[in-house]
Amino acid sequence: MPGVPPTFILYVAVVEDAEIRAYGSVAPLKVGLLNDYPTRSHVDDDTVDALRMVFDEAVAAGVVDRPIELVQRDVIGLPNGTYHAVERAYDELVDEGCLAIFGPYVSDNAVPLSAHADRVAKVPNIILSGSEGALGEWTFALNNGSMPEEGRMLAAILRGDGHRRIAIAYEGSLIGKEYLAHAERAYADAGLSVVTTVPIPQVETDKVDAVTRLRAAAPDAVVHVGFGHGLWGFNDALAAADWDPPRYTTTAFEMAHISADWFQQLAGWIGLDSYDERNPVGQNFLERFEARYGRRRNYFMPGLCGDVATVIVLGLAGARPLTGEGVKTAIEDIKLVPSASGAPGTCLRFGRFIRQGWMGVDYLVARRVLPDGSAHVFHAAPSQHISEIAGSG
């Protein structure tokens, strides 16, 4: 070109070539993982691998038209760490360009983060929290339990097992106190008598005094409610008191799956869990997981994370436009998708004003750890005894 310096012509050619290369490729879809309760165990590994497997399957099947990149933040939130670390990690994932975020898990962190997510108003997040206070415009739940519902579920199981006089040990925390309030109402409605409530710390400590107070009320069964840390040392205190009552807990039962030590802490306990070996969708998921990774662990986390990943994939696939808000709107359109979690027939569904994604009474079932701590087995489904509550008067 006359009058144009050769260096300028070269510069334009380089820029145009870079733009051609850029337009010839696609940026990955970024999804955040905000783990506020890292265990440094197989649970964390299974979480990441389950997410990646579903994401990769979606790309291979053409459900989404570009790779999905998992951006991970592991922080120690409440109860052992701080909420500040959780909020900071959320903001980092938003700044990274994530279109959806999985986490946090713990209600103490999820409740305040929901308000923050609404203020930011950019990215939907899917939580495991059981507190309805964590739900919001931008916060969806595939809740690994529900504080209002677990009380009803356990009431049905307790009645079905023939117990009427219940002693409750509750952790002195946001989670424990919220669980307690819902449990007391649910048990009263079910015709059960709460003969005593005893606070316990949500840390490892001597629980002999608490066990002594529980026993003095002469209950048919003992129920623990809380996040789960309060269960550590409970069996030791029962053994010291030479007392072996029927004992139940919430989805804190799932702590048993963290390690062999935790499994022993839950020996003899019955609790709520989202794993049900009768669910063919969940068993098919575990077969695919084993084929890919060469391992199979029959517990709740792989299937639950597979369900979370399914929701995220459908959100990404249906987003118009491909923004955080587009993903949020697409998640609201998810209806009757078979779930890997829960009893057979459990489905995933959301809506414009529906933020809890399980459809089916038995998205949780009761399981028990054998007294010798060797295995966990199916115990009962709440739906088997719900009618007893309705007719209890």
Q: pLDDT tens, 54-79?
A: 999 999 999 999 999 999 999 999 98
Range in 17-26, 27-36, 271-280, 337-346 with the lowest mean pLDDT: 17-26
Closest by CA to 106, choosing from 46, 37, 170, 40, is 37
What is the per-residue pLDDT for 386? 81
pLDDT band at 173, cuts 50/70/90?
confident
Backbone angles phi, psi at 113, to 5 degrees: -70, -30
Q: What is the domain class of 29-145+278-361 according to CATH? A: alpha beta
d(CA 253, CA 214): 20
Task: Please write the tens of the pLDDT for every residue from 132-145.
Answer: 899 999 999 999 88
29-145+278-361 and 147-276+365-390 in the same fold: yes
d(CA 66, CA 64): 6
How many residues are there in the chain?
A: 393
- Model confidence at 94: pLDDT above 50: yes
φ/ψ of 354, rounded to 5, equals -115, 115
Q: Under CATH, to which class is 147-276+365-390 assigned?
A: alpha beta
Whole-number pLDDT of residue 18? 45
Collapse the DSSP code of 249 into the 3-class scheme (helix H, G, I; strand E, B; otherwise coil) and give the result: strand
φ, ψ for residue 18, nearest 5 deg: -65, -40
Cα(207)–Cα(342) distance, integer angstroms = 33
Answer yes or no: are the C-beta atoms of 100 and 31 closer than 8 Å.
yes
User: Left, alpha or beta for 85 (phi > 0: left; psi -120 to 50: alpha)?
Assistant: alpha
Residue-level pLDDT at 137: 98
Provide mean pLDDT across the span 200-205. 76
Domain residue spans in the chain? Answer: 29-145+278-361, 147-276+365-390
Q: 107-120 and 83-95 helices cross at what angle (nearest 10)?
A: 40
29: its two tokens: 């879809």
Q: What is the pTM of this model?
A: 0.89
Specify the pLDDT at position 42. 94
Which residue pairs, CB below 8 angstroms and at least 24 apart, start in 293-296?
A: 293/49, 293/53
Q: What is the pLDDT of residue 53?
A: 98
